[in-house]
Amino acid sequence: MKTRLSVNINKVALLRNSRLGNYPDLFQFAKDCEHFGAQGITIHPRPDQRHIRYSDVPILKALVTTELNIEGNPTPDFVNLVLDTLPAQCTLVPDAENVLTSDSGWDTIRNKSLLRDTVDRLHNAGIRVSLFVDPIPEMVNGAKETGADCVEFYTGDYAKLFSIDREKAVAPHIEAALIANDVELMINAGHDLNLKNLAYYKSAIPNLAEVSIGHAIVADALYYGIENVIQMYLHQLKT
């Protein structure tokens, strides 16, 4: 199965926000990522707007020609933003307001009512919905019960363990992926995937539909340039 590469451009927005104006040009960067081969653009507007701002979202919606994926905690303001924007995909993430980065998935059982109501609202607007989850069988089955279309596996722990024992690192993801396949949930993945660990993850996970990568791509671009880096990541996904 061909796995899509969605480039998360939050870190570019963070760099832009360190000065006044729009430099580096966030919107041109998104267009260039698509031109260089990315199959999607991911953004994660947080309540403090420390990187992607709410005002960026309609501009990006108008210029992205592949797939726009908006991530975030389903607060009323966020859900209204998504419904106003109508992206191809919305990934619901259980972020606290002061979290540095997304570091855990939903308890899809405890939050079933909230998630089901949110999924229904987004589905009624024609938006595909993914839930950010840890690779735990119960959480995958819980995601299915909310009516979501996809799960996005949190891969931070996989990345931490990869250099020590890659088979042990990926084992829970394989188990969770097999369950997702059985219940007909699409599989996405993201967090700390990079040029060292991506190809192995892709080769191990059956029917991996999409990876969302931002931090590593922007960091690698400092050395290799964004055009080269996107090609390097696409090459990893051809494994």
Domain 4-236 has what CATH class? alpha beta
44 is catalytic: yes
The confidence score (pLDDT) of residue 100 equals: 53
Give the model's pLDDT for residue 203: 98
User: What pLDDT is recorded for position 97?
Assistant: 64
What is the percent of the chain with per-residue pLDDT over 90, rounded to a whole number? 94
Find the catalytic residue in 51, 67, 173, 191: 191
In this predicted structure, the answer to whether residue 235 has a pLDDT above a threshold of 90 is: yes
pLDDT of residue 98: 63
Q: Which of 34, 51, 67, 71 is catalytic?
A: 71
Q: Return the pLDDT at 205.
A: 98
Going by pLDDT thresholds of 50, 70 and 90, the confidence category of residue 1 is confident
**pLDDT tops 80 at residue 99:** no
Which three-class secondary structure string do you get for the chain? Answer: CCCEEEEECHHHHHHHCCCCCCCCCHHHHHHHHHHCCCCEEEECCCCCCCCCCCCHHHHHHHHCCCCEEEEECCCHHHHHHHHHHCCCEEEECCCCCCCCCCCCCCCCCCCHHHHHHHHHHHHHCCCEEEEEECCCHHHHHHHHHHCCCEEEEECHHHHHHHCCCHHHHHHHHHHHHHHHHHCCCEEEEECCCCCCCHHHHHHHCCCEEEEEECHHHHHHHHHHCHHHHHHHHHHHCCC
**Residue 180: both structure tokens together:** 């997702």
Which pLDDT belongs to residue 95? 80
pLDDT in tens, 215-224: 999 999 999 9
pLDDT of residue 104: 79
Give the predicted TM-score (pTM) of the model.
0.96
Task: Please report which confidence band the pLDDT of residue 108 belongs to, taking 50, 70 and 90 as the band edges.
Answer: very high
71 is catalytic: yes
Residue-averaged pLDDT of the chain: 96
The pLDDT tens digits for 68-96 are 999 999 999 999 999 999 999 999 999 86
Q: Is the pLDDT confidence value at 177 over 70?
A: yes
The reply to whether 138 belongs to the active site is no
- State the amino acid at position 182 in one-letter form: D
Domain-by-domain residue ranges, the chain?
Answer: 4-236
pLDDT mean over 54-64? 98
